[in-house]
Amino acid sequence: MEKRILKDDNDRVDGILKVTGQAKYFAEYELPGLTYGVLVTSTITKGKITALDTKAAEKAPGVIAVVSHLNKPSAAAYEQEGGPQMKIFYTDKIFYNGQPIAIVVANTFERATYAASLVKATYVKEDFNTDFEKALKDPKAKKLQGQADYKRGIENAYKTAEVKLEERYFLPIETHNPMELHGIIADWRPNNQLTVYAKTQGVKATQGTIANVFKIPMENIQVNSEFVGGGFGMALRTWPLEIATVMASKHIGKPVKVVITRMQMFTMVGNRPAAIQTIGLGANKDGKLTGITHRAYGETSTYENFTEGVVNMAKFMYQCDNVNTAYAIVPVDLGVPIWMRGPGEATGAFALESAIDEMAHALDMDPLDFRIKNDPETDQQKNKPFSSKNIKEAYKIGAEKIGWSNRKNKPGSLIEGSWQTGYGVSVGVFNANRGKASVKGILKADGSLLLQSATSDIGPGTGTGMTLIANKLMKIPVNKITFELGDSSLPPAPSQGGSATLSTVGSAVNDVCVALKSAIAELAANSNMDATANFVDVLKKNNLPSIEVTKESQGGKERDNYSMYSFSIHFVQVKVHALTGVVKVSKIVYVGDSGTIVSPKTARSQMLGGAVGGIGMALTEESIVDHRYGRYINNNFADYHVPVNADVPEIDVNFINKPDPYINPMGAKGMGEIALIGFSAAVANAVFNATGKRIRTLPITPDKILA
């Protein structure tokens, strides 16, 4: 389709494709001879498959093949000893309920779905445990260190403080649930040539994983993933179901498409693991923190360990000479977790930012004043100055906008009819990353610029951000710039995760633009043109249809000298219904301190998304397992409650928008994670302010308010 001209430079470059239904997601590619795969999954939680009866399925109409551990094609890495425990179709072991055990391929989706219902497995069952709390209490159950213990000053100093608290916080399993169902189209052709259409946050990562499993060269594998219908972390790895689909295609020599069900989204593609955390805080009577202890346990699977940064924030967010942390993981018989937006930091911030509020209350201080009083000038963990940090200014802006002066420090003071009003604040913080990426730039005599990189866009607006960076540097109109991504044959870039894409790939775009400008200047000089001559004239005069530059870009030594973080302050007002315990988030104010805002419209939307995810985390989201059977019982959108339109109030998004002098040429720090990190604590703190009830177990459902 011809690129229609956008009305506003800040509009999404792919907006027209998205609003007209022309944006193509992985499942929407038409391949000749395309077949449909449907996964058969285990109905037990732990044990072994003793028999798999596939005859009925194989005889069902339209069925081309049933692939399982009995007849799989070779995946060279899985033939070898070692490696992952869960080698799909290379093991008869069952590690969790809902594990894929076979794939049925047919010529229509309906036929494959029906035939999959005909596959019958028999098992020997083993005892299992899916209950994280039970495992934690069981002295015989494994607990593995998840991160090195950290200690600064005196261990557990809070215990001897003038004012102290020690509280326990519980976070249930949450499930990413992007709107697009997961899956893949795999097309294995002769001579080990493979094309896949994937839902991935990293085309190079998908290419690398498949190459490793099947031991074929990276160059043989083409990964396409231009549009991704949300990921939130779940598309940061290549899941066993994707390998199963590639195997099926290799087995039948035809392209196979698998789109998993919403129910399978709860079992096959990870989740945010449950966590139990203890925070100990000590302060003197003047309100200075004297001790922070943060101990956390996170859930993991029995077949693969998963760790994340649950206790990171406690080490640097507040000025305190005595800090110690510990983090362990506890295996249960469920599918392996994966980073979910804000990852472990969001888990940790719920506990830490709740505890900070509790300490302020214990001291009879305004929690905002308490935070400001304990705001550090330098990073005590790394013993370095912050590259940029404007959070005192952010606190001030947010407090004004939310009407913090209306807040009463005594909980339960603001009552209007049946509704109690409360205000809460919290901080989100995440490492401001910058990785290594390459970008190719082709500057053409028709006045256009084409930029290419094997990065991804799961929704934040990667192409829009990159286009605006180039637009600013090159003074080329936005509608003359095209940024191509989601294709593994383009210059390499890391996966989209950890809020690093704009910083990492944007820096490479910057470097390419700078190089193109100097190449044009050189050409101009060599052809006796003015140094400021337009590149179109310069190229034409030199009879060049285009010039091309590829640059690899990464940070230098600045990270040795500075501590780099992005910050976000969340202010919320809640209304709690006294009789029913219903909590409505009635107002939200964000103040982001994440350096330069490159793309204002999409940056604002990122913050909105964090708030909406945060409301879910705070009030409704919980994946519930029936531990008798090891199965999720609310594995659908009717029972797993993500926020809907009516749950979300107006959201006032503000940015400090001051460049970070060190991180990258744009001065821009990441935003995706900070929008969510800590938000749930702001809600919990506001609920406490409204009602005097401190809820330490998420989600904050009415039963907990009324208990």
Partner 1 sequence: MKSSDQKPNEGDSRRDFLKKSSVITAIALTPGVAVKAAENKADERFAELFEKIPLKLTVNNKAYQTMVEPRVTLLDYLREELHLTGTKKGCDHGQCGACTVHVDGQRVNSCLSLAVMNEGKKITTIEGLANGETLHPMQAAFIKHDGFQCGYCTPGQIMSAVACVREGHTGSRAEISEYMSGNICRCGAYPNIVDAIIEVKEGGATV
**18-37: which residues touch partner 1 (CB under 8 A)?**
18-25, 27-28, 30
Please, which of residues 272-301 interact with partner 1 by CB under 8 A?
none
Q: Which of 226, 621, 622, 673 is catalytic?
A: 673
> Does 16 engage in binding with partner 1 (CB under 8 A)?
yes
Question: What number of other Cβ atoms are within 10 A of residue 511's Cβ?
Answer: 21
Containing 439, the helix (H) or strand (E) segment is: strand 437-444
Distance CA 274, CA 698 (A): 10
User: Residue 672 Cβ, how far from partner 1 at the closest point, in Å?
Assistant: 10
- What are the DSSP calls for 121-168, one per residue? EEEEE------HHHHHH-TTS--EEEEEEEEESSTTGGGGSSEEEEEE
Closest CA to 323 of 374, 270, 370, 393: 374
> Does 148 engage in binding with partner 1 (CB under 8 A)?
no
CA dihedral 271, 680, 431, 376 (to 10 degrees): -150
Please, which of residues 338-367 interact with partner 1 by CB under 8 A?
none
Closest CA to 655 of 568, 542, 579: 568
Please, which of residues 627-666 interact with partner 1 by CB under 8 A?
636-638, 642-651
Name which position in 110, 219, 286, 364 contacts partner 1 (CB under 8 A).
Answer: 110
Distance CA 260, CA 27 (A): 11
Name which position in 44, 60, 256, 585 contacts partner 1 (CB under 8 A).
Answer: 60
Site string for partner 1, 306-325 (x = CB under 8 A): --------------------
Strand 449-452 vs strand 481-484: parallel, antiparallel, or unpaired? parallel
Name which position in 331, 337, 460, 463 contacts partner 1 (CB under 8 A).
Answer: 460
Question: How many residues form the binding site for partner 1 (CB under 8 A)?
Answer: 72
Region from 94-102, 370-378, 611-619, 624-632 binding partner 1, contact rule CB under 8 A: 611-619
> Does 678 engage in binding with partner 1 (CB under 8 A)?
no
> Does 611 engage in binding with partner 1 (CB under 8 A)?
yes
Dihedral class, residue 459 (left if φ above 0, else alpha if ψ from -120 to 50, else beta) = left
Distance CA 317, CA 404 (A): 22
Distance CA 480, CA 471 (A): 9
Inter-residue contact 495 to 209 (CB < 8 Å): no
> Does 259 engage in binding with partner 1 (CB under 8 A)?
yes
Q: Which is nearer to partner 1, 99 or 606 (CB)?
A: 606
Name which position in 602, 654, 664, 680 contacts partner 1 (CB under 8 A).
Answer: 602
Closest CA to 592 of 604, 583, 582: 604
Q: Between helices 343-362 and 679-691, what is the axis angle to 10°? A: 30
Name which position in 129, 177, 245, 563 contacts partner 1 (CB under 8 A).
Answer: 177
Name which position in 570, 604, 631, 693 contacts partner 1 (CB under 8 A).
Answer: 604
Region from 56-64, 79-87, 279-287, 400-408 binding partner 1, contact rule CB under 8 A: 56-64
User: Residue 215 Cβ, how far from partner 1 at the closest point, in Å?
Assistant: 34
- What are the DSSP calls for 41-65, one per residue? E-SSSSEEEEEEE-HHHHHSTTEEE
Site string for partner 1, 389-408 (x = CB under 8 A): --------------------
Which one-letter amino acid corresponds to residue 532? Answer: T
Question: What number of other Cβ atoms are within 10 A of residue 285's Cβ?
Answer: 10
Q: Which is nearer to partner 1, 577 or 627 (CB)?
A: 577
Dihedral class, residue 27 (left if φ above 0, else alpha if ψ from -120 to 50, else beta) = alpha
Q: Which is nearer to partner 1, 236 or 360 (CB)?
A: 236
Closest CA to 144 of 279, 272, 293, 307: 307
Please, which of residues 181-220 interact with partner 1 by CB under 8 A?
181
Give buried/exposed letters for 183-201 (b at 16+ CB in 10 A, else e). Answer: bbbbbbeeeeebbbbbbbb
User: Residue 340 Cβ, how far from partner 1 at the closest point, in Å?
Assistant: 12
Tokens read off for 589? 């104010």
User: Does 126 participate in catalysis according to the annotation?
Assistant: no
User: Residue 5 Cβ, how far from partner 1 at the closest point, in Å?
Assistant: 11
Q: Which is nearer to partner 1, 110 or 400 (CB)?
A: 110
Q: Which is nearer to partner 1, 19 or 51 (CB)?
A: 19
Closest CA to 249 of 200, 195, 198: 195
> Does 228 engage in binding with partner 1 (CB under 8 A)?
yes
47 has which bridge partners? Answer: 94, 125
Name which position in 9, 43, 48, 56 contacts partner 1 (CB under 8 A).
Answer: 56
User: Residue 663 Cβ, how far from partner 1 at the closest point, in Å?
Assistant: 24
> Does 609 engage in binding with partner 1 (CB under 8 A)?
yes
Please, which of residues 423-452 interact with partner 1 by CB under 8 A?
none
Name which position in 180, 242, 345, 660 contacts partner 1 (CB under 8 A).
Answer: 180
User: Residue 416 Cβ, how far from partner 1 at the closest point, in Å?
Assistant: 17
> Does 8 engage in binding with partner 1 (CB under 8 A)?
yes
Inter-residue contact 673 to 340 (CB < 8 Å): no
Question: Could you give the C-alpha distances from 528 to 34, 224, 525, 537, in angstroms and in order?
Answer: 57, 44, 5, 12
> Does 465 engage in binding with partner 1 (CB under 8 A)?
no
Q: Which is nearer to partner 1, 231 or 280 (CB)?
A: 231
Name which position in 3, 51, 61, 400 contacts partner 1 (CB under 8 A).
Answer: 61
Which one-letter amino acid corresponds to residue 172? Answer: P
Strand 193-198 vs strand 221-224: parallel, antiparallel, or unpaired? parallel
Q: Which is nearer to partner 1, 371 or 631 (CB)?
A: 631
Q: Which is nearer to partner 1, 396 or 601 (CB)?
A: 601
Please, which of residues 118-137 interact with partner 1 by CB under 8 A?
118
Q: Which is nearer to partner 1, 227 or 567 (CB)?
A: 227
User: Residue 64 Cβ, how far from partner 1 at the closest point, in Å?
Assistant: 12
Give the residue numbers annotated as catalytic, written as ranges: 673
